[in-house]
Structure 1
Amino acid sequence: MPAVRLLVLGVIRRQQPTHGYAVRRELLSWRAETWTNVKPGSIYHALKQLTAEGKLQTVGTENSAEGPGRTLFELTGAGEAEFRRLMDVALVSIDMEELGAAIAFMDALPRAHIVAKLREQQRNSAQVRDELLRMIPEFPARHEPPHAPDLLELWSGVFANLTGWTAGLLERLEAGEYRTAD
């Protein structure tokens, strides 16, 4: 759910005021369903929850030729703070959905802040990789399941790849690629 909340807040932040269908359409155009668990129902649930929490406010209704009017939303001050909090959490995350959501909106933050958070994420992923690799020799010759060392190697490879990918992104950011808030 944190990734969905971040995606919804981020799209609304970019397009405000906007309605739920526009958020859904934007995320579909990014093919977000292929790299997150975002579904139409989760978008509308997040809109309802964020509004109830005071992070979004309704600012009117847009007429629609296809049915009833669409409720327009925009971020409140608390919504902006929640967006930034979720960005900071997601940028250091080793969870692919959360990290992907943060990368989608990293242009909302200053470059130095993004770099600092991604360096932390890189350390986190390298630490997980190293811990998994250290566990492999600890498994006795007879272990259950017998393929546990293979699983540890698989996951250590995933985190090695994440560590390397982050290094490449950091190089591009430090070279001045990508637009950022500053």
Structure 2
Amino acid sequence: MAAAKLTTLGIAVLELLHERPMHPYEMAQLMRERHVDNRVKVKAGSLYHTVERLLGNGFIEVVDTQRDGRRPERTVYGMTGAGRDAFVERSTHLLGDVAEEYPEFLSGLAVIHELGRERSLRELERRITQLRARVAADRTVTQRLHDDSTPEIYWLDWRFTAARRAFELEWAERLLDELKTEKLPFVCEHEPKLVTEKENDERKTS
């Protein structure tokens, strides 16, 4: 795995190994505690696969094996010099380069007119309800981080996500208001007649 192709999950693993050698189960636990799934899709299978890839490419190495009672033996991994170099190079690009990203919400916004006023307002309200719940949860997590005196430098990724979600909520609420008050009117006078097959069948049977 070339440094330029080091995945974000690979970065997360090497990030933990900067602290100390550890086995994948411990990595998974720490990732849950630190909300790494906020920025990386973490599944047990993908984590173990990533560890194997890092090992195969010489970015990590086996430094110990541990056995706790009757539990299966656990392999402890440490980061190599090559891994540290790859980590620094890839992380530098992740921080400094502006990458093209394609949030699905943008595609939803692009088809609002085709969906029509009634459906669009309903779905925007549904999205706003979900966002409000998530923003409230974000505040709870942020408060806990402050209460635990966790240095903020360690959770800048979380701070960014919470701020972005709060911004999206504010923006969506403003859009909903503009659509409801017709400050932002639909161009066509008539409601677009986009219905799914399921909706069409329900209309026929009602």
Q: TM-score, normalization: structure 1?
A: 0.50
Tell me the TM-score normalised to structure 2 length. 0.44
**Larger-Rg structure:** 2
